[in-house]
Amino acid sequence: MLTLDQATYDAIVAHAKRDHPDEACGVVAGPAGSDRPERLVEMVNAAGSPTFYEFDSTDLLRLYRDMDDRDEEPVVVYHSHTATEAYPSRTDIGLAGEPNAHYVLVSTRERGNNEGPVEFRSYRIIDGTVTEEEVVVVPELEASTT
């Protein structure tokens, strides 16, 4: 199960809508080993494509160095689909290299960047196996005990 605070959920959806018709992408980092998505990092889709996303390699290296400095890891890796359902494509599955991450997909196919609901789903992708999981949105994450 993925638990997100409302502000992070809203920010991911806003990013997906803002970048439509291109795919949006980003990471939500959290303390290593905690499974707490705490810090949203919007990334630029270096592919600039409505059908594919790619993190800029320089930006990604900078992000991973920053996460290392903060003792964080990617808790959520997200991107949007602009013309298809929020389900990982074969390419998405092949790129899923973080076995502990939640892979969130947001589909903007129904309304594009207009107001209204989107399809928001989360998956675990391990060794090519896709498992959908429940998404729970709470007003705020409970205080960390670490």
Q: Is residue 55 part of a domain?
A: yes
pLDDT at position 142, please? 86
Mean pLDDT, residues 25-32: 98
Average pLDDT over all residues of the chain: 95
- What is the C-alpha to C-alpha distance for residues 93 and 85, in angstroms, rounded to an integer? 15
**Do the Cβ atoms of 15 and 23 come closer than 8 Å?**
no
Domain encompassing residue 48 = 2-138
Q: Is residue 143 part of a domain?
A: no
Q: Is residue 114 part of a domain?
A: yes
Read off the pTM. 0.95
Q: Is residue 145 part of a domain?
A: no
Cα of 57 vs its chain's centroid, Å: 17
Question: Do β-strands 102-107 and 39-43 pair in parallel, antiparallel, or remain unpaired?
Answer: unpaired
Task: Examine the pLDDT at 25 and tell me if it is beyond 70.
Answer: yes
Task: Examine the pLDDT at 145 and tell me if it is beyond 90.
Answer: no
Tens of pLDDT, residue by residue over 84-143, are 999 999 999 999 999 999 999 999 999 998 898 999 999 999 999 999 999 999 999 987
- What is the C-alpha to C-alpha distance for residues 70 and 27, in angstroms, rounded to an integer? 15
As for how many domains the chain has, the answer is 1
Where residue 32 sits, what CATH number does that domain have?
3.40.140.10
Q: Is residue 144 part of a domain?
A: no
